[in-house]
Amino acid sequence: MERELALEIVRATEAAALASSKWIGRGQKNEADDAATSAMREVLGTINMDATVVIGEGELDEAPMLYIGERLGTTFGPEVDIAVDPLEGTSIVAKGLGDAMVVIAVADKGALLHAPDMYMDKLVVGPNLKGKVSLDEPLESIIEKAALYNGKRIEEVTVIMQDRDRHEHFRQAAMNMGARVKLFEDGDVSAGIAAAVKSNPIDIFISTGGAPEGVITAAAVKALGGDMQARLHPMNEEETARVISMGIEDPLQLLTLDDLVKSDDCIFAATGVTSGELLDGVKFLTDDIVETTSLVMRSKTKTIRKVVAEHTLSLKPYLQKQEVNA
């Protein structure tokens, strides 16, 4: 892939973040998602690449744009697969809470797992634990290894997981050992990435959440030098059949980081919408100046860039429209 592609992709995440930020705290998650999706697709169409959406807003009959199989870009450039989440945390934006962001993963064609829209068990750790833990071992064992290899006491190890009843056994196991537990409501891409950042106080991410989000997370984890394992979690015979149709003979196969992202050259980009664990959200500095903060990472070079940008735009037409609607 062209190295210039990494910074071009950021333009798309910035545009989606700016578009969705107008809906922060307005209680309208669908409108926020639609705005982000439209803005992202418009910018992606201008980038010199021949891209196919492998993880997007849904199948063709479910989504008018950024649907699975849609081709994007000018077609003059590298042939790639892309996985997108135009607004990771639609409910977060609607409620005005933290940790909403826009994310895109790009890899060589055929490199990203075409994960179906179902649950996936996920484990993410940082570089110090790469190759040393398994999703199949008890959480207590993973915590002990995190303390050993990260140079901490058990009491200093932090495990992050989604605040759901299905994770109660993980929460109790961690707390019984004396480890710290950090819960989040929505948006597990941000939480998963945080566990892979070496300087972040979070040591372990463990949760059962969306499989598409798991593949996007894997692209970032690969760029950060961390490790991830996953297992698809079909809930019925129909979902089991879908997994088998993808070419995975054993629906309960343990998926490694290289199974999730087969290429050593992938790009991950994210722009914050509301401030959270990884990124600052969109900041309205004046009526016409808006600031965004983004991360863009490339696994081949292990380059991690933080991009803080100021955008000049007029919000007056939007504000006038709100006054009329009111």
Q: What is the pLDDT of residues 126-140, one digit of tens each?
A: 999 999 999 999 999
The pTM assigned to this predicted structure is 0.90
Q: What is the pLDDT of residues 273-312, one digit of tens each?
A: 999 888 999 999 988 899 999 999 999 998 999 999 999 8
Closest CA to 150 of 171, 190, 179: 179
Domain edges within the chain: 4-109+265-319, 119-260
> Mean pLDDT in the chain?
92
CA atoms of 221 and 137, how far apart (whole Å): 20
pLDDT range class, residue 198, cuts 50, 70, 90 = confident
Could you tell me which CATH number the domain at 4-109+265-319 has? 3.30.540.10
CATH class of the domain at 119-260: alpha beta
Residue set of the binding site:
33, 57, 85, 88-90, 119, 164-166, 186-188, 210, 213
pLDDT at 305: 93
pLDDT at 321: 46
pLDDT range class, residue 1, cuts 50, 70, 90 = low
CA atoms of 162 and 48, how far apart (whole Å): 37
Residue set of the binding site for Mn(2+):
33, 57, 85, 88, 213
Is the predicted pLDDT of residue 325 greater than 70, yes or no? Answer: no
CA atoms of 167 and 258, how far apart (whole Å): 26
Residue set of the binding site for substrate:
88-90, 119, 164-166, 186-188, 210
DSSP H or E segment with residue 12 = helix 4-21
pLDDT at 2: 62
Work out the average pLDDT over 22-44: 96
pLDDT at 314: 64
**285: its two tokens:** 């500095």
Q: What is the pLDDT of residues 100-121, one digit of tens each?
A: 999 999 999 999 998 888 999 9
Query: Is 65 in contact with 37 (CB distance < 8 Å)?
Result: yes
Residue type, 145: K
pLDDT at 272: 97
Q: One fold for both 4-109+265-319 and 119-260?
A: no
pLDDT range class, residue 249, cuts 50, 70, 90 = confident
Q: Number of H helices and number of E strands within the chain?
A: 10, 13
pLDDT range class, residue 258, cuts 50, 70, 90 = very high
Instruction: Give percent of the chain with pLDDT exceeding 70.
Output: 95
Is the predicted pLDDT of residue 43 greater than 60, yes or no? Answer: yes
* Angle in degrees, CA 81, 83, 85, rounded to 5: 155
DSSP string, 61-84: TT-SSS-TT-EES-SSS-EEEEEE
pLDDT range class, residue 319, cuts 50, 70, 90 = very low
